Structure 1
Amino acid sequence: MPSSIKSIDKSVLEEVQMENAPTPSALDVEFGGTEARKKLERKLLRKLDARTSILIVIYILNYIDRNNASAARLRGFEKDLNLKGQEFNTLLSILYVGYILMQIPSNMFLNYIGKPSIYLPICMMIWGMISVLTGITTNFTGALLTRFFLGFVEAAFFPGSLFLLSKWYKRSELGLRTAVLSCGSLISNAFGSLIASGILNGMEGKLGRAAWRWLFYIEGAMTIFVAMCAIFVLPDFPNTSSRFLTPDEARLAVLRLEEDVGISDSDDATGKGTSGLVLALTDWKIYWLALALTNMVISLSFNAFFPTLSATMGYSPTVTLLLCAPPWAFATLVAFAVNRHSDYTGERFLHIAIPLFVGIIGFIIAIATMNTAARYVSLFLMAQSYAAFICFLAWVSNSIARPPSKRAVGIAFVNAFSQLGNIAGSYVWPKNWGPSYSNSYAICIATNGLCIIMCFVFRQALARENRKFAEKEQEQGKPKGFREMGSTSMYQGIWAVAKLFACPGSSIEDR
């Protein structure tokens, strides 16, 4: 066949393909073209980032109110309440009983009412009041009740926040936003210790009250104040937010997510009922992710005992609390870098496995020596493993993309089930295993390793699903559609992580 005929046939074929293929510009016409849409999208993201940033402050207070018992322990909390044996550990673990029970119903209710700007701050006010009440308890029973109800109400915040972010951000944007949100917990570990140190040192005996009681009063009052401010700042869902978006921005917010996964939130016709519960509980991925995260949470249980582990270096209570801050500040920087790069490359598994492996090195160092410098370095290596936890949460949201009713239940179920790890973790660090806590660290190594293996198996399963998607599209002659995130091939993933250090400015298309 003459080359001229071949070129004509090729040009005709290209024209037909171009006519049939949906072009981005066709979708951008209503926004004034591609460039106008990009400009509008940047403006939308700036608005969203500004409003959702208050979630970081709320999460800091959420963690401070949850973990202030560990700081209070250094200044007479156990003695004043006459706690014996495992009663302090029981106070820590009972919080997660209420936390587990409430998460799924809370997210289902949040999806039903569609008003996180009202629901989340009200829950926050209630847990702030309960935190204040902890300061007036006089015995184990009173403290047990306040801790249980504190977990019951706090359960609304974290899964609700993850669900809120997943309603606004595309999957490629979610890892960074989840990281920024979750950095609140890391910041709280750093600055919570500094705040606790100041209160415990300066408020002893004021108005005849012990310093640890003032710790609960002051931090609870801070929570209530921020909650009142959050009512006017937090956004609702795209279909229910009109107070801060223009009509074009509201339309674009919905369209972005529809393009990302191929289905609109509004397409979930039965999402107001129990269909999301049924869809979530019949998906094997939910259970696998929940079990993997539970193992990770057990390995991260050192968080609740961080002041105790820091105290094994032999310093005074004040210095001990101050030494808790730098490891968590370092962990915050690592988590931000790891999750930003995970979003950039579209890879999840290695961004989870590598921080967990580095955490294992920290556990081994802590087992191997009681040298002060080495043990302090080990605390840095342990703390940075939280980067894996944050990336895992983004992976959960990515893997349960639609419908939103299923995603609401799925996120809550995975997070709630994983809190069994916190209950178990409360008993992983008994006093009689100190000061070396070798047995505790060995448990953390085992659960960390199992989590890495489970994440690898999950990555392989996602890769297999993506191959099926590709084969089906090829058979039907359709363009490339939805793909599970985090299933990049192992070689591509290693190459992407290596480029974080070698060529941080490389193109995402190179992954």
Structure 2
Amino acid sequence: MSSEVIKPPKRSLLGVIKEVFNWYPSAYSSEERKLLFKLDVSILVYACLCFFVKFLDQTNISNAYVSGLKEDFGLYGNELNYFNICYYSAYVLFQVPGMLLMSRPSLARWLLPTLEILWGICTFAQSRVTNVQQLYALRFLVGMFEAPVFAGTHFVLGSWYSGPELFKRAGTWFLCNPLGSMVSGYLQSAAYTNLSGVGGMSGWRWLFIIDGIFTIPVALIGFVIFPGIPDSPRPFFFSARDIEIAKERIKKANIRRPGRLGLDVFKRSFARWHIYVFLFCYACMILSSYPSSYMNLWLKEEGYSVSQINQLPTVTYAIQIVASWLGTTLAAIYPSWIIYTMASFCTLFATLCMCIWYIPTGLKFFAWYLFGVSGCLSPILYSTVNTIVKDDSEERALIMGSMMTFGYQFQIWVPLLLFPTAGPNGAPRWPKGWPFTFVFFFFLWVGFITSLVLYRRDKKKKEKGLAGLEGSGSESGSDSPGLESEAVVVVESAKGDDRRY
């Protein structure tokens, strides 16, 4: 059996446009298309709402800081960094435990909605803080409860979808990240303008109340519609036949279902290259993305009004929304390394402008907004992890949780060294931070390309081994046709994946 890489067919512009919006291919049976629609309505609707409020809650601390929190509490040092450190410390500590729990079928349906209820309560509580110590504690709790949401949703998507389906859904879901950040800016602007003084509270306090009002109903919706993973208890709107088709689909795609969870998952994972390369990639992604979210600090330094400070950065989030959806969708049609390289070039150019710093104001606005193109980098990376490690469910969960743990632990201390809020090396100039950001973006691209090269190498070895085993079985009259059939499934799956890599 040949291991030759199958090149993607050439498509006209009209063909590409059709493929971008083709979520339910006509080649699928009517039963499979109905199942995909049910999955989209249940998983994507809840995941998008959940992710939206997560980033609404995560971004509000920065918006509150520049909208009166700083002045009310007399915060003229690195307190904004400390708020983030409290959040990310908890985020790091609870990543791997949360992800391993997400891999358990009996818990996968209920874990995220339960955690969302808890962080919604903490979001409400932030509106009533009376000192900065209380806010530190609440940021820690919010980080703890939000820990499994990001990687956990990617894990769930990778448990139901594969191939181009997965890339398209991951990109659509991820756009709720910048959408939540974008809406948070408008909400804070509206709260500052219309609610300041209402009920004796500052406008920034009302932002936390509004966020909590969004969060709790979304959590309740999750208890009803979120299906967990294919082996979880069946939701009422899925028939037994739906689950049967879903399990047939993941078997055909060579996605291994959850097995026993034991310490051997660590031994298996650390014996392969996946965890090392993807941890490196995500650490570079986290470190490179940190300064680009603080355009509001530059606007404040330049003397823009509070409304402008909250609203102008939302253009970046709008670009992220388009890039997340379109970039990831195109990565399902064309080789993903091409899309990743184009997006990486944009971020490197924007970072270079920030390194120079003393450039025309218009170019600096363009650079800030160009960072929005990075919106496709994360969903493409995680969809690639789901594809490459689909043969081991527990390893996949461990890697995704470890990526978040390893990446975000740098958020605990690196910002204090490279991205301080105050001082001669402080925000938003960051004479030390921006050059390092350029290096991190470059290493992220190198790491991603390395993962594809290693994946292609492993697939070729596997194809040759299984093809030889299949031929040997045929010559010897093997009594194990199932093994031969499995070889064909794995090889065909590998060829399908290589079309995008």
- Quick one: which amino acid aligns to residue 187 of structure 1? L
Measure how far apart 1:35 and its partner are.
8.4
Measure how far apart 1:110 and its partner are.
2.5
Question: Take 1:484 and 1:86, find their aligned partners in 2: how far apart are those partners?
Answer: 49
Contact 2:227–2:235, Cα closer than 8 Å, also in 1: no
Give unpaired runs (5+ residues) of structure 2.
1-24, 472-486
Question: Which range moves more in the overlay, 277-286 or 354-363?
Answer: 277-286
Question: Secondary structure in 2 aligned to 1:330?
Answer: helix
Q: How does 1:366-381 map to 2 (within 5 A)?
A: 366-368=354-356, 369-381=358-370
1:68 aligns with 2:41: no
Question: Secondary structure in 1 aligned to 2:225?
Answer: coil
Contact 2:179–2:321, Cα closer than 8 Å, also in 1: yes
1:339 aligns with 2:328: yes
Question: Take 1:90 and 1:484, find their aligned partners in 2: how far apart are those partners?
Answer: 46
Q: Which residue number in structure 1 is paired with residue 405 of structure 2?
A: 416
Measure how far apart 1:112 and its partner are.
2.5
Question: Take 1:458 and 1:112, find their aligned partners in 2: how far apart are those partners?
Answer: 27
- Quick one: which amino acid aligns to residue 357 of structure 1? F
Contact 1:459–1:487, Cα closer than 8 Å, also in 2: no
Contact 2:102–2:108, Cα closer than 8 Å, also in 1: yes
Q: Deviations over 1:53-81 (max 9, x none)?
A: 22111111101111211101112212323
Q: Which residue number in structure 2 is paired with residue 120 of structure 1?
A: 112
Q: Which residue number in structure 1 is paired with residue 345 of structure 2?
A: 357
Question: Take 2:138 and 2:78, find their aligned partners in 1: how far apart are those partners?
Answer: 18
Q: Which residue number in structure 1 is paired with residue 181 of structure 2?
A: 189
1:293 aligns with 2:282: yes
- Quick one: which amino acid aligns to residue 268 of structure 2? L
Contact 1:175–1:394, Cα closer than 8 Å, also in 2: yes
Contact 1:351–1:391, Cα closer than 8 Å, also in 2: no
Question: Take 2:490 and 2:305, find their aligned partners in 1: how far apart are those partners?
Answer: 59
Question: Take 1:237 and 1:487, find their aligned partners in 2: how far apart are those partners?
Answer: 22
Counterpart pick for 2:315 among 301, 314, 326: 326
Measure how far apart 1:174 and its partner are.
1.4
Q: How does 1:51-130 map to 2 (within 5 A)?
A: 51-52=42-43, 53-130=45-122
Q: Which residue number in structure 1 is paired with residue 148 of structure 2?
A: 156
Measure how far apart 1:140 and its partner are.
2.5
Measure how far apart 1:241 and its partner are.
1.9
- Quick one: which amino acid aligns to residue 321 of structure 1? N
Q: Which residue number in structure 1 is paired with residue 383 of structure 2?
A: 394
- Quick one: which amino acid aligns to residue 275 of structure 2? I
Question: Which range moves more in the overlay, 124-133 or 351-360?
Answer: 351-360
Counterpart pick for 1:442 among 431, 435, 439: 435
Q: Which residue number in structure 1 is paired with residue 221 of structure 2?
A: 229
Question: Take 2:55 and 2:35, find their aligned partners in 1: how far apart are those partners?
Answer: 29
- Quick one: which amino acid aligns to residue 466 of structure 2? E
Instruction: From the superposition, tell whether residues 118 and 356 of structure 1 become closer, same or farther in structure 2 (CA, over 3 Å).
Output: same
Q: CA RMSD in A?
A: 2.4
Question: Secondary structure in 2 aligned to 1:412?
Answer: helix
Counterpart pick for 1:460 among 433, 437, 453: 453
Instruction: From the superposition, tell whether residues 166 and 247 of structure 1 become closer, same or farther in structure 2 (CA, over 3 Å).
Output: same
Q: How does 1:495-510 map to 2 (within 5 A)?
A: none
Instruction: From the superposition, tell whether residues 397 and 184 of structure 1 become closer, same or farther in structure 2 (CA, over 3 Å).
Output: same
Question: Take 2:176 and 2:296, find their aligned partners in 1: how far apart are those partners?
Answer: 18
Question: Take 1:312 and 1:350, find their aligned partners in 2: how far apart are those partners?
Answer: 37
1:246 aligns with 2:239: yes
Give unpaired runs (5+ residues) of structure 1.
1-33, 494-511
Contact 2:256–2:393, Cα closer than 8 Å, also in 1: no
Instruction: From the superposition, tell whether residues 171 and 209 of structure 1 become closer, same or farther in structure 2 (CA, over 3 Å).
Output: same
Question: Take 1:300 and 1:456, find their aligned partners in 2: how far apart are those partners?
Answer: 19
Measure how far apart 1:392 and its partner are.
0.7
Measure how far apart 1:277 and its partner are.
4.0
Question: Take 2:191 and 2:395, find their aligned partners in 1: how far apart are those partners?
Answer: 43
Question: Take 1:162 and 1:210, find their aligned partners in 2: how far apart are those partners?
Answer: 37
Question: Take 2:314 and 2:80, find their aligned partners in 1: how far apart are those partners?
Answer: 23
1:348 aligns with 2:336: yes
Measure how far apart 1:195 and its partner are.
1.3
Question: Take 1:36 and 1:324, find their aligned partners in 2: how far apart are those partners?
Answer: 43
Measure how far apart 1:486 and its partner are.
10
1:137 aligns with 2:129: yes
Measure how far apart 1:198 and its partner are.
0.7
- Quick one: which amino acid aligns to residue 283 of structure 2? T
Contact 1:362–1:381, Cα closer than 8 Å, also in 2: yes
Measure how far apart 1:82 and its partner are.
3.3
Q: Which residue number in structure 1 is paired with residue 419 of structure 2?
A: 429
Question: Take 1:259 and 1:228, find their aligned partners in 2: how far apart are those partners?
Answer: 34
